Structure 1
Amino acid sequence: MEKNTETKPIIATNIDSSAMDLTCMTEEQPVSTSSRHSEGGEPPAGRLKLFNKVMERSLNKYIDDASFQRFAKTFHPFYKRNPQVMEDIHKQFVSDLQRTIQEDITKLMEEGELKCKLDELDKLERAEKDNKEPAWRPSGVPEEDLCDFVMPYYLKYEAHLQKEIKKIQAENAALAKRVQSGRDAIASTELGITAAVDKWKESVKESEKLLACPADTFDV
């Protein structure tokens, strides 16, 4: 007689354990968090907890499909030869399968930054609940709706450009000041050179005059 044993694997501990506090949702009657909150019960669970709960239920369902009965039926000749070995192989198979799937889920959450994004969605939802203003609705005129949507971006971009213009103007003023200072230094150097040349010319003229005097001028 074949041994009919099914293993009930426990979900990997990498999934948030707090998700276990949520009410189990059946496929026939899913529980809406918004309706539960409106009935005066607990506040709706965060999206991260719901995501973990869905992943947990999906993983459990997937592991349940890999039951020992199906495993033994698939490998019936080996099971008939040594049931205990097949049971150990099945346990190892389920353990490796569960670990691999959980690692893929964890990697997906890390690469997609799901935790931060789901928490941000929760914050946006809570902030919207405190907003008493009516929600935006299309006016029926696409031009106006598009203008209302695009104008804030244009205004923000314009403010950015104004800031960059002021920055460039300040840099240009500093450069102009440095250029003017350099010009003043060049002008001062030119005046110094001109004065030195004039002085040199005067000394040359004096030397020429001395050389042009008659020899008897120096007789005593």
Structure 2
Amino acid sequence: MCRVFKMLMAFSFSTYSYHRFAKCYSRLYKVQPELTKCVYNQFIAHLQTSFREEIQDLKEEGNLSVLFKSLDELAEEAKKRSTPAWRPSGIPEEDIHSAVVPYLLKQRRFLQKAIKEKEEANSRLAEAVLAGRKRIADLQEEIRKSKEEWQVSGASQVACPSVHRDNLLGAHQQPGRRREMYPPPHTCLQTLVRNIQSGGILAE
């Protein structure tokens, strides 16, 4: 691979010929051709140095030296091999097709199974959501009915307060019996007069 880089550099710098450089700076070349040649040489030297440094950084960053060495070893082994490479049918397109298609079909079956499982899970979630919404609607209906019953009961109590009071006191309690617990006022006065006439209170 070092040879490849060297060939690449040689090809790249061959395009930057002195003739093209002088043509780009024709005025300077006509006045001072020697100075133009010196500037060209310095430019090529700096360009080569920068190019080598960039390649070296890439090789160190990607560990390309080891990879290139392994690739060179494979290339040398391929030169020594007398049998042809793996090609069952001899046609590269058919060989690749026979090797890749089964793998792709397997991946498609796996993805179809995953999609089916996701769809079933989504269906179960949708059913749970619908059941929850129905339960909420039923609760709202129950609350509405309870509210209406409470409003009707409150209105009836406001319209008939005496009936409600009698219900609280008890239907078995009679108003006449309450009056019998206390004697009339004229009876108490007659009793007091008789006691005075008999002298019972004065004697005391």
TM-score (norm 1): 0.41
> Which structure is higher in RCO with an 8 Å CA cutoff and minimum separation 6?
1
Q: Considering only CA atoms, is the larger Rg found in Structure 1 or Structure 2?
A: 2
TM-score (norm 2): 0.44
